[in-house]
Amino acid sequence: MDARITRLGVSAIALAGVCACAVAAIVTASGSVSGHVVLETVVRALIVGVPIAVGLFARASPASRRFGDVLILAGFGWLLATLSASADDLPYSVGRVSTWLFEAALVYVLLAFPSGRLPGAADRALVGAAVLLFASLYLPSAPLVERYPLPAPLAACGNACPDNAFMLVQNEPAWVDGLIRPLREALLLALFAGVTLRLAHRIRGATLLVRRLLAPVLVVALLLLAALAVGLLGRTVAPESRTVEGSMWLMALALPIVACAFLWGAWRWRLFIAMALHRLTSRLDAHSEPQQLRASLASAFDDASLELVYWVDEGHGHWVDAAGHRVSPPAPNAERAFTEVRDGDRRVAAILHDAAVRYEHAFTEAATAYALVALDNRRLATRTAALVPEVQESRKRIQAAAYDERRRIEQELHDGAQQRLVALRIRLQLAAESTGDGNGHYAELLRRLGAELDEALDEIRSLARGVYPAPLTDRGLAEALRAAALRAALPTAVLAGGLRRYPRQVESAAYFCCLEALQNAAKHARGATGVVVELSDNGALHCEVRDDGAGFDIQRVSAGMGFSGMRDRLAAVGGELEVRSRPGRGTRVTAKIPFDEETAGHISGGVPA
């Protein structure tokens, strides 16, 4: 219903504007004495119609709705000033007095650009001075003058203009033309100079965003000031000059020029918003952090003071900045605006930004959407960071349990099955020796069983060494790998220097990673003639296994379970794995395990003796 009423209101204003343009055209056509009646008629119709049309356009935005109303009222008011083109005394006189009033109203239009409100005390003082000048020096002179000064901005009568219909005295007093007229024109020129300086001062102290809005009207104010100076001075010196005539037309077009300046500023503003959103989307991604979002928003929208604040729901709830300091939302009409970021009905954060973009839905929607994503990322990152220590501790517990289980299995194989098989082998040997000559067949059978039992013992010993090699516990990583190298399928050299004893999980992880790399080389390193295992300690334990085989393309060959297991084993003790290979250049597998004495007890409870 409200939208329907609004559409009806816009239609009514538009229809009234068309009628006003028609009246201005009829008055001009009937009273003009120039040789360009059609052109002058069209121009005067546009003088009334352009502000009304731009005002309707401005009302579509909440930020400029009030200024749109000002333009519409000024456009209809300017219709009275166009009566200066009439050939009749009364309409002509009404038009000339309305022109004076409009000059005072033009001060308000310039200073209220583009919001429709006077932003400061200086602006209100200038508007008050304009009203006082009109009320004290212009309006009282209407009953005292026989003819109005010529040339005038909207007069179309040339030198044959009607008399003043409001004159109440017999003769015009000499002091009106000798004192009042020069004084008021000088004050009018000073007033417009003050308006221009005020606009320049506002632009100088404004933010970059406000400067984009005020720059067009400052250009218009400078243009009108120049036209006013030329027109008022030239009217006295050379009233018939083309320059004076041009300046009068420029003053007549003042309101349409201001309206066009608004359109120019609106177009520049829309272009700026579009480019700012493009810059914002190109700088941010789905994983942006809040600080990155703040910096990107500030840079994209030329607002260095833009700030993200957060809602703290403790007690009565309040806003805090990134440093934890309490922040109060600005007043509704302040130079800073406050846009809340909500997750459903829940307050999450807010953006403190320049009030110039308060009503820009593209900015607020993009900024709040990105802010919500960034805050969700931060919340997820915080949760993930809290889970990382738990995962690391879990890995360490699993590694320690696996280590203990290997030791237990190795011990049971050594003390249990292996010892029983050894005892059984001895008994078989004794049984074979005690068998008489008449039972040689049984003796040979017992010896064969003994040989098979020896093979079973070798397999169990090999299995026990594979579960957890005794040299690793007794003599350390280098000696355990040298023992493994003796059994390797490819000739293997172990180079080690400056090593010390490490926690058992560290040594176990390094040993089995190197063992897996040796097995991979034996299986996959086609054409390899040997393998080198190099161990070093420069603040972290480095283990490198390299071969001179055919190599492979890492980008085209997916990592198998071997590499995945090696990475998981190293990750449990804070290490990392790197695999480098190229076709024809061999393969290099490097494990790095950071280690210091401070964390040694935390990893394994101590270094093995």
- Report the relative pairing of strands 540-547 and 587-594 from DSSP bridges: antiparallel
Which residue is it, tokens 């519409």? 72
Q: Is the pLDDT of residue 17 over 90?
A: no
| Percentage of the chain lying above the pLDDT 70 cut | 77
pLDDT of the residue at 607: 38
DSSP state of 138: I
pLDDT of the residue at 1: 40
Identify the band that residue 26 occupies on the pLDDT scale cut at 50, 70 and 90. Answer: confident
Instruction: Specify the range with the lowest mean pLDDT, choosing from 33-37, 485-489, 515-519.
Output: 33-37
Q: What is the pLDDT of residues 444-460, one digit of tens each?
A: 666 667 666 666 665 56
Q: Is the pLDDT of residue 60 over 80?
A: yes
Instruction: Specify the range with the lowest mean pLDDT, choosing from 73-77, 110-114, 293-297.
Output: 293-297
Identify the band that residue 281 occupies on the pLDDT scale cut at 50, 70 and 90. Answer: confident
Residue 14 class from Cβ within 10 Å (0-12 exposed, 13-18 middle, 19+ buried)? middle
* pLDDT greater at residue 558 or residue 157: 157
Mean pLDDT of 8-24: 87
Tell me how far apart the terminal alpha carbons of the chain are, to the nearest angstrom.
88
In this structure, what are the phi and psi dihedrals at residue 64, rounded to the nearest 5 degrees? Answer: -120, 15
Q: Is the pLDDT of residue 372 over 90?
A: no
Judge whether 443 and 435 are in contact, CB under 8 Å. yes
pLDDT of the residue at 391: 63
Q: Is the pLDDT of residue 359 over 80?
A: no
Q: Is the pLDDT of residue 240 over 70?
A: yes
Written as six digits, the tokens of 499 are 């090593």
- Name the 3-class secondary structure at 298: helix
Instruction: Specify the range with the lowest mean pLDDT, choosing from 7-16, 188-197, 215-224, 430-439.
Output: 430-439
Q: Per CATH, the architecture of 2-271 is what? A: Up-down Bundle (1.20)
Mean pLDDT of 406-415: 62
HEC readout, 398-433: HHHHHHHHHHHHHHHHHHHHHHHHHHHHHHHHHHHH
* pLDDT greater at residue 381 or residue 541: 541
Q: Is the pLDDT of residue 246 over 60?
A: yes
Instruction: Specify the range with the lowest mean pLDDT, choosing from 167-176, 428-437, 538-547.
Output: 428-437
Tell me the domain boundaries of the chain. Answer: 2-271, 286-388, 474-609
Instruction: Specify the range with the lowest mean pLDDT, choosing from 51-55, 121-125, 309-313, 386-390.
Output: 386-390
Q: Which of 531-535, 558-562, 563-567 has the highest mean pLDDT?
A: 531-535
Q: Is the pLDDT of residue 195 over 90?
A: yes
Number of separate helices (H) and strands (E) present in the chain: 19, 10
pLDDT of the residue at 489: 86
Mean pLDDT of 536-559: 83
DSSP state of 177: I
Instruction: Specify the range with the lowest mean pLDDT, choosing from 116-125, 169-178, 240-249, 570-579.
Output: 240-249
Which residue is it, tokens 């417009």? 192
Q: Is the pLDDT of residue 226 over 50?
A: yes
Identify the band that residue 605 occupies on the pLDDT scale cut at 50, 70 and 90. Answer: very low
CATH of domain 474-609: 3.30.565.10
DSSP letters along 329-396, please?
PPPTTSSEEEEEEEETTEEEEEEEEEGGGTT-HHHHHHHHHHHHHHHHHHHHHHHHHHHHHHHHHHHH
* pLDDT greater at residue 554 or residue 481: 481
Q: Is the pLDDT of residue 2 over 50?
A: no
* pLDDT greater at residue 381 or residue 358: 358
Mean pLDDT of the chain, nearest integer: 79
Mean pLDDT of 200-215: 81
Mean pLDDT of 179-184: 90
* pLDDT greater at residue 389 or residue 86: 86
Identify the band that residue 194 occupies on the pLDDT scale cut at 50, 70 and 90. Answer: very high
Instruction: Specify the range with the lowest mean pLDDT, choosing from 88-102, 153-167, 448-462.
Output: 448-462
Q: Hey, how many other C-beta atoms are within 10 angstroms of the C-beta on 535?
A: 21
Instruction: Specify the range with the lowest mean pLDDT, choosing from 135-139, 360-364, 463-467, 513-517.
Output: 463-467
* pLDDT greater at residue 58 or residue 440: 58
Instruction: Specify the range with the lowest mean pLDDT, choosing from 15-19, 145-149, 371-375, 433-437.
Output: 433-437
Q: Do domains 2-271 and 474-609 have the same CATH topology?
A: no
Judge whether 464 and 414 are in contact, CB under 8 Å. yes
Helical axes 504-524 vs 561-571, angle rounded to 10°: 170
* pLDDT greater at residue 272 or residue 74: 74
Q: How far apart are CA 343 and CA 372, in angstroms?
A: 7
pLDDT of the residue at 601: 42
- Name the 3-class secondary structure at 533: strand
pLDDT of the residue at 405: 61
